[in-house]
Structure 1
Amino acid sequence: MSGRCCGGGDAGGEVGAGGVPCGRPCRTRFSLCLKEYQSAAAPGACSFGRAASPRSFTLILQAYDDYNYTDPDKESGLIEEAWWSGIVEPGAAWHALRHAGAAAALAYRVRVTCQPNYYNSTCTSFCRARDDQFGHYACSAAGDKHCLRGWQGDNCEIRCHPTHGRCDSPGECLCRPGWRGELCAQCQPYPGCKHGYCNGSSWDCTCDTNWGGILCDQDLNFCGTHEPCQHGGTCENTAPDQYLCKCAEGFSGVDCERVDNPCAPQPCDHGTCALAAPPPAAPAGSPAPAAAPSPGFVCTCERGWGGARCDQDIDDCAAAPCRHGGTCRDRLDAFVCDCPPGWTGATCADVFVPVDVDECSGGGAGPAEAAVGAEGGLGPCVNAAACNNSAGGYSCACLPGWTGRDCELNVDDCTGQCLHGATCIDLVDDFHCACAAGYAGRTCARDVDDCASRPCRNGGECVDLLDAYRCICPVGFSGLDCEDDRDHCADSPCANGAPCYTAQSDYYCHCAPGWTGKNCTQRAARDLEQQDSHVSVTPTGLV
């Protein structure tokens, strides 16, 4: 621009050309105009106004000095004018556009959104959710009808399956034989089908795994279902509902239930088993003595165990070995006496003579161990500065970051330190935060600026996210970093002299009069009415 004051006047404010101060800061006003597609913006009225357009359009954005602006039809006060022609696919994402003019640079964003109830890339798919006598459905993101629960059909108006049921009155659905369910859409298995299902056909009986037969009532895996073999026998399926048990040594029977060798089941828990000798025969002519049946085996128990099967821990406290009122605690083949005050020894038989032992006289294991001899030793104290002996005991002076009777416990310095889900690593009298992705700092309190490296290319605008970023790409560019500038018109897809224009992920042919179709290859029988879409423009900067 010339450098003259936009606001007029010569006193106070900003400095204009020649060092003359401006009266007040400039006030900038933007004007938007949408019209039919033009290869170059031409003067004329805004065909589509400022809010709606077909899929292809020309956008004109004007920046005005708003000082003493009275006639909107005149271009007095015009600072700069930018225009753009092409197509923008409908969506919620903004696309960045820039204009470098002789007087100023304009940066703005544009997007296209369909009118309510219109969908797809051309805003021509209509879907309005409803729940009335004309249909019962919701609309997907692509404009497809999704029937509400309990409805079906093209318009979700059918309450009952057309072939598997009948409807004699509103809200009623009577199922035909072999079908069931709210809409009569669920098949019913054959009567008597025990371990099977109908698999989409009425009166069907498809067997579950390991079952067979017409009614799926024959077990093909009797071994796995019933596990009939006892005492470690191996089971083999031989036919439906039939099996064969291969018994371990010492067992027999159909299910290996008969014990032929009494020691085969290893009846002795803590000992060895031997076959028992048969009882002596009674003298001839005398009646046999009545006796309990013998198990047929004898257990030789290990030390500390007893009982017929060596399953009883012998009570070593039964003989009361602890003297002078000591408490006996049983152990395996041993005992321990808890002696009363004044007594000691294995059976509390010795008189206890107290002796004050200097626990600190021994060498310490901590980092402060430097002194030699009785004075200055750390004794049992670790991570301590000093050990202090006392009558019948001692105390430790812990180094910073340590606690416990012997200073053996590291103080938890992580409590309430690390933020935003970070992992805290406890050190000695210190901590370290392993920050979650997207955060930094000693306590992970700072959000990392992922846009600092300027990753967006080709003029894209960067938006910082948590451990991520998003690029608002200029029209014609795509990709994570706006790096994809593929020219969809490189193969010249447009016929009959139609110019080709690249969009985000497609191309657009601006057909000449009399031609139509995506590539302008079809003769136009008549003009087709197009559904409107909304174009939104947001100025982001004026330089």
Structure 2
Amino acid sequence: MILMNVILCSIVLFFPVPSVLPAKYQPKWKKQACEIPSSQTEYSHYICTDDGEVKCLPGWNGDLCDVPKCRSGCDPLQGYCNRPGECLCKLGYYGERCNKCIPLPGCQHGYCNTSFECICQEGWDGIFCSEPTCRSDCHATRGYCESPGECLCRLGWSGRNCKDCQVLPGCIHGYCEKPLECKCYPGYTGILCQTPICSSTCHKERGYCKKPGECRCKIGWWGKNCEKCFPYPGCVHGSCRRPWECNCKKGWGGMLCDEELTHCDENPEICQNGAKCISVIKDEGSYKCLCREGTSGRNCEHSEYHTVKPIAVKPSAVKPIPVTSIAEPEEVTRNSTIDKIEKEVEFASGYNISTITTSATTTTTTSTTKVGSFTENET
């Protein structure tokens, strides 16, 4: 305490206090403004006192009394005024006191500290704070969010974090390695892996399967590989190449192949003129004859033309036949009751060969056979 008093006394002694203070400084223009009446106009914002000093009118200040006093509370940095009592805001600010900033146009979930800023609220990102911040473990490219903290999967992806691919819609027995894929598990095929692969030996048209490796037969077929057909129900001595057929074995006939065909075996001579006999069912007449050309009738018993038996003659015995004349042939008419016609042809002396016989069997027609005679030339 004693030391402090000593210091103060030393200061006073070293810097003596003047007995008279200097007069208040007054700018030269103020003295001139009051000394020169013409310097004051109706637009001046001051008056001159009796002492010749300049005094600013209410609402004005400044060395020249040309600065209006703004409304009380107007932000000194972001507000201004052109006349006393105003508070006009600079660009980027608003409010009664011009103390509020205008954010960046388009800023959705943000705020500002200075004009045209866009400082994002928690959970939002982007220039305009329009992009929500997804959950931290959400996949960066496969997932997205519409509000902060969620995780929605893009098309083709699934799972909590959108890290799992999504199979093609409708894929039944398949999986995926990339979005909208359908790779079949073993034993299945098809675009949607919906078709099981049957046993390798299963008939492709007659068989099918409901699960891999099996072989189920379509209706009308049976067997391990569906290679056998079902014959017509009740088929006795028959087989099938297609379902519900009854193809009879040899010697059997009828719709169910239950009628034995033995008529031809029991009657071997029933078909004539070399015809072939075929046994048929009783409803069709028990038998049929396959006639040779030129014969007809149920048993091929009718001949439709005459046959001339060939004459065996040795080539060395053949001599030219000198013909002198051919007599007018005579007509022989036979009725249906004549079975055989014989006519001897007379040749020249020394060439009487034999009697040529023509045979024919008829029923209702009448035919004419013309036979001529040959006469040897006389020398």
- TM-score, normalised on structure 2? 0.23
Structure with greater Cα Rg: 2
Q: Which has the higher strand share?
A: 1
Q: Which has the higher contact order (CA 8 A, sep 6+)?
A: 1
Q: Which has the higher helix share?
A: 2
- TM-score, normalised on structure 1? 0.18
